[in-house]
Structure 1
Amino acid sequence: MNEVIGEVLPLALGVAISPIPIIAAILMLLSPRAKGTSIGFLLGWILGILVAVTVFTLLASILPQEAEGSSKPIAGTIQIVLGGLLLLLATKQWRSRPTGDTEPALPPWMQAIDTMTTARALMTGFLLSGLNPKNLLLGAAAGVAIGSASLTASGTIASIAVFTILAASTVAIPVTAYLAASARMAGPLGTLRSWLVHNNSTVMAVLLLVIGVTLIGKGIGSF
């Protein structure tokens, strides 16, 4: 199980270091309905991650099981394909990075956060985590790593839990910190939001490049 957790940790980090949901969480925390929307968004974010990695784990578990220590060409091929798709996303992110000091425009749904209800915030969190192409690819890679390993039921559950907790941590931490000390966190969260807006594309491009190359390397090593 330790080997599998070692494989999914960088993938979970790839989900965690996602500026857009962190920006969304910060905007919700600075909105008139901070408590309801931020908690709803966090629950949706966690649920989306959990559903995605669980579904891909179940799908990967039905792949033909190779003998211990033997090559795993099917899992390896899937990893190479997923790594290649992540490299394409990295290229797209890099090309879309802003230039100069102009602040990039936020998506329309972010501009409506002040009027967002708890239920809508939950659905937004679920869609951003579970159906986002980058997160789907990372969740699929984690699911392949977990489902193709010969783990017990408890080992599989523990691996999924570790992935989900780490992947959701960067949204959970600011939400928890703000709700615990809202007066002191408003300033730092505003500064963090500004930095993330300006550097979103660059951060994601570098992150996807590293994870994509790593996945391709693991896939090649599975043959």
Structure 2
Amino acid sequence: MNSVIGDVLPLALGVAISVVPIIAAILMLLSPKAKVTSVGFLLGWIVGIVVAVTAFTLLSSVVPTDSSSGSSPVVGTIQLVLGLLLLVVAVRQWKSRPKAGETPKLPKWMKAIDNVTFFSAFGLAFLLSAVNPKNLLLAVSAGVSIGTAGLDAGSTVIVIVIFVVIAASTVAVPVIAYLIAPTKLRAPLDKMREWLAHENALIMALLMLVIGVNLIGKGIGSF
């Protein structure tokens, strides 16, 4: 189980470092309906991650392996494809990084964040966590690692819980902290939003590069 946890930790970190959901959560925390929308967003974020990684874990658990050698061409092929796709994401993130003095472009729907309700915040977060292409690739990668490891049900649940806790932490921490001390966190949250908008593309490019290369290596080793 420990080796599987080691495999999914960087994948969970990749989900956690996602600029759009983090900034969306921060904007909700700075909006008039902060407590309602931020909680809905957090719940949707967690549920989306759980659904995605659990679904791909269950699908991967039926992938055939060679019992004599432990190799699995199917798993290897999946990991190679996912690794290559993550390298593509890394290149796109690198190219999208803002130049010196340039203001990062954020989704237009963020301008309407003050009008978001609990349920729309929940649905938005669910889509960002479970359907967003980058997060979906990472969820598939985590599901493949967990589902093909041959773990018992209890160990599988533990690994998924660890993955979800880490992946959801960057949204959960500011939301929970704001609910505890809203007044003190307004200025720090605004500074965090600005920093993430400027630096996230570079961080994500490097992270996707490392994870992609790692998956390609694992894929080659599975043949």
Give the TM interval when normalised to the shorter protein: over 0.9
**Which residue of structure 2 lines up, in the alignment, with residue 134 of structure 1?**
134
- The percentage of aligned residue pairs carrying the same residue is 61
Give 1:168's aligned residue: 168
C-alpha distance in 2, partners of 1:69/1:193? 49
Give, in whole Å, the separation in 1 of the partners of 2:69 and 2:167: 29
Is 2:64–2:72's contact at 8 Å kept on the other side of the alignment? no
Query: Aligned partners of 2:48, 2:27: CA distance in 1, in Å?
Result: 20
Matched, 1:205 2:205: yes
Report the AA paired with residue 120 of structure 2.
Answer: R
- Partners of 2:61 and 2:111 in 1: how far apart? 41
1:56 aligns to what?
Answer: 56
Q: TM-score, normalised on structure 2? A: 0.97
In the other structure, the counterpart of 1:179 is: 179
Deviations 1:134-176 (A, max 9, x none): 1000000000011111111111111111111110011000101
Give the distance between the partners of 1:24 and 1:167, measured in 2 at CA: 16
- Superposed CA offset, 1:20-53 (max 9, x none): 1111110000000100110000000001111000
Cα distance between partner residues in 1 of 2:6 and 2:58 = 19
Partner residue, 1:108: 108
Unaligned runs of 5+ in 1: none
Separation in structure 2 between the aligned mates of residue 97 and residue 150 of structure 1, nearest angstrom: 40
Alignment correspondent of 1:86: 86
Q: Distance in 2 between matches of 1:67 and 1:93?
A: 39
Amino acid at match of 1:147: G
Deviations 1:48-96 (A, max 9, x none): 1110001101110111133276222211111111000000011111111
Give the aligned residue type for 1:200. N
Q: Match of 1:112, SS?
A: helix
Name the aligned partner's letter for residue 186 of structure 1: R
Q: Which amino acid aligns with 1:132?
A: N
Contact 1:48 1:129 in 2 (8 A): yes
In 2, Cα distance between equivalents of 1:69 and 1:10: 27
Cα deviation for residue 203 of structure 1 reads 1.6
The alignment covers a number of residue pairs equal to 223
d(CA) in 1 for partners of 2:161, 2:69: 26
Q: Tell me the distance in 2 between the aligned counterparts of 1:21 and 1:96.
A: 17
Structure 2: tracts of 5 or more residues without a match: none
Contact 2:65 2:71 in 1 (8 A): no
